[in-house]
Amino acid sequence: MDGILLVNKQKGITSHTLVEKVRKLIGNPKVGHTGTLDPLAEGLMLLTVGKATKILPYIVSHSKEYIATVKLGYSTDTLDVTGEKLAEKEIVPFDREQVITVLNGFLGPQKQLPPMYSAKKVNGKKLYEYARSNKEVERKPADIEITEMELLDLKEDEITFRVVCSSGTYVRVLCQDIARCLNNEGCMKRLIRTAIDRYSLSQSCTLEDIRKGNYSTVSIYDALSDYPYVEMEDISDVRNGKPLKLDREETVVFITHQGEVLAAYEKDGDIYRCKRGLW
């Protein structure tokens, strides 16, 4: 089996645990993922299976949708409710219009500082490894973009919203920032990833579905359909990884044969060089 498996990760397990469970259930050791979710988080994950593990660099998403809930009244070291409390503050009252104004204020391109409790690497070491040793290191703000913000539910001590953002956005940071813009302390209580690019949570399967054999995969051909395809009859040079002369201008093209994706080629001057073979 080769393709992309859309899985609904349950709350309370790590992304690594999910991958291990799927490997055992489908009997295939070649299973990877395109991006993790924290144990607290739930929702859509894209798992690459078989040959699809080789196309991982080409299917890293640019847009993700989440539904998140902010818990007001205190902040934590992890920026979510699983962490140690750092500060508590009596909730300053606010109304619906104030919240909508704050949410809309986050729309557009911006800089965001990665949290210490994250898998982002600094000097070859993950930030959460520094954090667990009570060490704080200098982090560089990352470029992110938020394209949609929508208020879904409002309580005295909780705010639930939907956000569509670029890959690499930390919703935990966003939750804390929203609280502070309302002159409050806050942290993330719940997070559900509802979409990754064109794939939605409604298309996904659960571990129980996989256990019962009730699942299907997105083909490699469909997963890479945003890229240009070059169909070839004689594929001997492609199989041998030789450079190709193609009348194209795109930076990356995929060579296909009878509807099967064979290789990724990248432009290098006047020729295209093989960067990844899918056999």
- Contact present, 81 and 187 (Cβ < 8 Å): yes
Looking at the chain, list the stretches that DSSP marks H as alpha helix, in order from N- to C-terminal side: 15-26, 96-104, 127-132, 171-181, 207-211, 220-223, 236-239
Token code pair at residue 185: 């302390």
Amino acid code (one letter) for 135? K
Q: Please choose, from the candidates 87, 73, 68, the residue with its C-alpha nearest in 3D space to the C-alpha of residue 179.
A: 73
By CB atoms closer than 10 A (0-12, 13-18, 19+), residue 227 is middle
**In the chain, what is the straight-line distance between the N-terminal and C-terminal CA atoms, in Å?**
13
38 noted as active-site residue? yes
By CB atoms closer than 10 A (0-12, 13-18, 19+), residue 90 is exposed
- 43 DSSP β-pair partners: 9, 193
Q: Measure Cα distances from 244 to 58, 221, 237, 254 in Å.
A: 20, 21, 8, 12
Instruction: Check 2, 38, 80, 177 and give the catalytic one.
Output: 38
3 state SS of 97:
helix
Please identify every residue annotated as catalytic: 38
